[in-house]
Structure 1
Amino acid sequence: MRLLSLPLLLAMMMALGGCNYKGVPDPQVSSRDAEWMAQIPTAEEDPRFGRYLIDDPTGEAPGTIVVDTKERQLYLVQPNRKAIQYGVAVGDEAYGWTGTSTIARKAEWPDWNPPAEMKARWPHVQYTKGGPSNPLGARALYLYEGNKDTLYRIHGTNEPEKIGFAVSSGCIRMRNIDVIDLYNRVPVNTKVIVR
Structure 2
Amino acid sequence: MRDEVAMSGLGSGTLSRRSFLLGSALGLGALGLAGCSSDVMSLAEAQKLYGPMPNEKFPIPAPDISKVNPKYYRRTVAYESNEAPGTIIVDPSNYYVYRVEGEGKATRYGANVGRAGFLWSGDAYVGRKGEWAVWTPPKEMIKRQPEAAKWANGMPGGLENPLGARTLYLYQNGQYTLYTIYASSDPESIGTGVTSGCVGLLSQDMIDLYEKTPVKTKVVVMPA
Give the structure-2-normalised TM-score: 0.70
Matches within 5 A, 1:63-78: 63-78=86-101
Match of residue 37 from structure 1: 60
Deviates more, 1:55-64 or 1:180-189: 55-64
1:110 equivalent in alignment to 2:118: no
1:85 equivalent in alignment to 2:112: no
Q: CA deviation at 1:43?
A: 4.6
Distance 1:164 1:18 in 2: 18
Runs of 4+ in 1 over 6 A off after TM superposition: none
Q: CA deviation at 1:36?
A: 2.7
Cα pair 1:109 1:130 within 8 Å, conserved:
yes
Distance 2:190 2:168 in 1: 17
Q: CA deviation at 1:110?
A: 0.9
Q: CA deviation at 1:29?
A: 5.2
Q: Hey, which of these two has a bigger chunk of strand by percent?
A: 1
Match of residue 10 from structure 1: none
Change in CA separation of 1:124 and 1:93 when aligned onto 2, cut-off 3 Å: farther
Cα pair 2:75 2:109 within 8 Å, conserved:
yes
Larger radius of gyration: 1
Change in CA separation of 1:165 and 1:94 when aligned onto 2, cut-off 3 Å: same
Query: Alignment partner for residue 85 of structure 2, among 62, 71, 76?
Result: 62
What is the CA deviation profile of residues 6-43 of structure 1, one whole-angstrom value per residue up to 9, with x for unaligned ones?
xxxxxxxxxxx52288x89859956125x5312x8635
Gaps of 5+ in 1: 1-16
Q: CA deviation at 1:193?
A: 0.5
* Aligned-CA RMSD value: 2.6
Cα pair 1:66 1:76 within 8 Å, conserved:
yes
Change in CA separation of 1:120 and 1:101 when aligned onto 2, cut-off 3 Å: farther
SS class of match (2:113): strand
Matches within 5 A, 1:105-184: 105-125=128-148, 126=151, 127-184=154-211
SS class of match (1:183): helix
Match of residue 18 from structure 1: 38
Match of residue 217 from structure 2: 190
Give the structure-1-normalised TM-score: 0.79
Deviates more, 1:88-97 or 1:170-179: 88-97
SS class of match (1:150): strand
SS class of match (1:154): strand
SS class of match (2:157): coil
Match of residue 28 from structure 2: none
Change in CA separation of 1:60 and 1:168 when aligned onto 2, cut-off 3 Å: same
Cα pair 2:54 2:60 within 8 Å, conserved:
no
Gaps of 5+ in 2: 1-36
Distance 2:129 2:168 in 1: 5
What is the CA deviation profile of residues 103-142 of structure 1, one whole-angstrom value per residue up to 9, with x for unaligned ones?
0111111111123344445444444211110111110000
